[in-house]
Each structure stands twice: as structure tokens, then as C-alpha cells.
Amino acid sequence: MNTTMRFGEKSLLAAALGLFALTGLATQPAAAEERAKDLFGAEKLPTATSAQSIGFYSKGCFAGGVAIPLDSPTWEVMRPSRNRRWGHPAMIALVEKLSRDAVADGWPGLLIGDIAQPRGGPMTTGHASHQIGLDADIWLTPMPSRPLSMAQRESMSATLMVDEKTHLVKDALWTPAHTALLKQAASYAEVERILVNPGIKKKLCDTVKGDRAWLRKIRPFWGHDYHFHMRIGCQPGSPNCKAQEATPDDDGCGKPLAWWFTQEPWRPNKNPDAPKARDLMTMANLPKECRAVLDAPGPASAEAATYHGDAVPVAVAAPEPEAPSLPATTVSGAGELPSAANAFAATPRMGAPVPRPRPSAK
């Protein structure tokens, strides 16, 4: 089945961006106060354009997203009602590849958590990042042998792999297959970072023998105790994608990891009610091109933009030559957020799993 987007549509975003460049400044003030998370959270479909990530993982959006199908023999999408199974085609292709490689390696299949909203941007709940289609959460719970119904995918709990008091991995739950899955994900050149709970990082540091170079990509972070978070780098055709700093060259098992096993990272947040960056961002905080992304036309249906692995990812096939390249300063957005707003501050616990960053005092 050919689900590649029609070529005629590819120029639409470029056209929208070009138009915006001429008229954008005049239209900015009226739109500036709208909460970006409400606007992006309301989008049901991606733009029907070539793929492009715009801005930074925690401050941006993306065009030309594709959806991963709800299931296949090697994966199942969890919490499908959230409609967060969208990503840059390179990200979706890689998740699919990981699922096949993992199954070949003995893992039963992937349970896929949040990737991104159809056009990215800040989310209505959860995650600080996942905004430019290059982040994906994958559960550390193996796919059950019997297919999960859509209702089960909404309600099934993930397995907490880490003791919340000691911050150490629960040894009864951790298996060599978990290690192999993370190693497989880290082996891909596109993958720049994999975020895991510090307890999981420590488990790997303590047990991985032989090749340890891949541990460099495994980064400890709050939460991430029932899933890991796979992040790929900026892809071709995304001149306004802002790369993240490279990880240090060592395995990260020394001092920086030891810090996580002190009191400091776990002290209650002094100001748990301080607003989160994602709750405050307006369109003025995002790169200007994100307005054009909101306004660009979408495909006829979600199915029309679902990736079935039978097409070269749009971004790879046709990097958009006319895409405007703006100076890096515009990427951080015109409006600065209050200093109390931290893109990585705690977010409220929801009924469904989301990353749990630094705990708040409660």
C-alpha cells in the first residue's frame, strides 16, 4: 500500500513559510498570547508537507509528521486515545526497525508510549520535550503474547523497574533482555541519547561487560523507570532544527552518576507549584515557523499519513530546498519565559504514565 504523501503537497509548507516571511510580523501580536500547548494539542493531523523539525526538543514543532500504525507483529501503541503516535518519518522508521531488531534478539515486541502530537509542539500534559518529532518513549514492559485490545492499551499499567526509595533497579524484574534492548537502541547512529532512570543507568554500569562504548548514550534522568526515552538527532531537511549538545565521551558511570545517589536530586522541589515551561509557552516562545506549521493544510486522514515502512521517509527523499534558514537566535523564541519555568521541572502525576521528573513536596 502506498501511503506516501502526494508530491504536489510538498511545496505547501514552503509556500506557507514564504508567505509568513512577508506578512508574519504584522500578524504576530494578536496570536502571541495563545497558549502553544492548546493550539498544538488541538491538532488532529500533521501537515501534508515534507518533514521538517523546527526548534529544540523542548521548544519547537514539526511538519510532515507520520504516524506509526497502532500495531504490527512487533509492536503495539499504548494509550492510543492520546494521539501521540506521530513523529518525523526518520523517527517512526527507526522505532519500527528497533521493534524488528529487538524481536530478532529475543524481546517479545515493543509497547510504544508517547512519541509526539501530530504537529509536535508543547503537550497539553506530561513531557517537556517530544516537541519536534525526534523523541519516543518505549516501555520496559515486554509486549504480552496475546494481542492487547484498544481498551487494555488504555488501562494496562507499566511495570515500575526501580525501587522508589533506594533508586535501585528491582533485581527480580531486570533481565539481560532489558539490557540487550537498550544496547540495540543505543547502537543506531541516529540515536543521540537514551534517557533512563539513574537506577537503570547504574545497573548497566555495574553489569555490562565487553563493549561499553554505547553506555555513553544512556543518560540518567528523573522518572523513566517504566520506560526509556529514545532521542534522535536533527534530520536532513531541517535547517531550523536545533541540535543538542553532544554527550561527554566517557561511559558516564563515574561522578555524574554518583550524584544521583546522593540526597540532592531527590530533595522536594522548593516551589512545586511554579508553572512549567510547557504550560506557559505562547506562540511567541516558539520559533516563528511554528505558526506556519499550525496553519498548513493536513492530509485527508490519519491513515493517509500513516507510515507503513514501504516508502522512503519523506525527509530523506526530498529535503526541502526552499526552507528558510534563520539565524540561531530566532530559535529560542521572541518571548522569554519566567525564570521559574523550567522545561524539566516536575509535572503532575496523571492516571496514565508520563515521565516523572524531580519529585514535588507532597
Binding footprint of Zn ion on the chain (CB under 5 A): 137, 229
Which is closer to Zn ion, CB of 127 or CB of 203?
A: 127
Burial class (CB in 10 A: 0-12, 13-18, 19+), 157: exposed
Which is closer to Zn ion, CB of 16 or CB of 98?
A: 98
Pairing type for strands 86-87 and 191-196 reads unpaired
In the numeric block, the cell 533508586 is attached to 167
Give min distance, CB of 250 to Zn ion, in A: 24
Which is closer to Zn ion, CB of 116 or CB of 294?
A: 116
Which is closer to Zn ion, CB of 283 or CB of 354?
A: 354
Answer whether 64's CB lies under 8 Å from 49's CB.
Answer: yes
Give min distance, CB of 222 to Zn ion, in A: 11
Give min distance, CB of 310 to Zn ion, in A: 28
Neighbouring C-beta atoms of residue 211, cutoff 10 Å:
9
Q: How far apart are alpha carbons 97 and 230 in whole angstroms?
A: 13
Answer whether 50's CB lies under 8 Å from 237's CB.
Answer: yes
The residue of the chain with the least Cβ separation from Zn ion equals 229
- List Cβ neighbours of 139 (8 Å cut-off, separation of 6 or more): 78, 110, 111, 112, 113, 158, 226, 227
Give min distance, CB of 186 to Zn ion, in A: 16
Q: How far apart are alpha carbons 202 and 37 in whole angstroms?
A: 35
User: Which candidate, 102, 77, 73, 72, places its Cα nearest to that of 87?
Assistant: 77
Give min distance, CB of 5 to Zn ion, in A: 26
Residue 210 Rama label (left phi>0; alpha psi -120 to 50; beta): left
Q: Tell me the backbone φ, ψ of residue 80, rounded to 5 degrees.
A: -60, -25
Answer whether 196's CB lies under 8 Å from 224's CB.
Answer: yes
Q: How far apart are alpha carbons 62 and 86 in whole angstroms?
A: 10
Q: How far apart are alpha carbons 199 and 165 in whole angstroms?
A: 11
Give min distance, CB of 326 to Zn ion, in A: 27
Give min distance, CB of 311 to Zn ion, in A: 26
Rg (CA), the chain: 20
- Torsion angle, CA of 199/120/123/34, rounded to 10 degrees? 150
Which is closer to Zn ion, CB of 137 or CB of 251?
A: 137
Give min distance, CB of 195 to Zn ion, in A: 7
| Chain centre to alpha carbon of residue 86 | 9
Q: How far apart are alpha carbons 106 and 59 in whole angstroms?
A: 37
Which is closer to Zn ion, CB of 212 or CB of 349?
A: 349
362, three cell numbers: 507532597
Which is closer to Zn ion, CB of 136 or CB of 323?
A: 136
Give min distance, CB of 129 to Zn ion, in A: 6
Which is closer to Zn ion, CB of 291 or CB of 356?
A: 356
Which is closer to Zn ion, CB of 137 or CB of 225?
A: 137
Which is closer to Zn ion, CB of 85 or CB of 229?
A: 229
Give min distance, CB of 333 to Zn ion, in A: 22
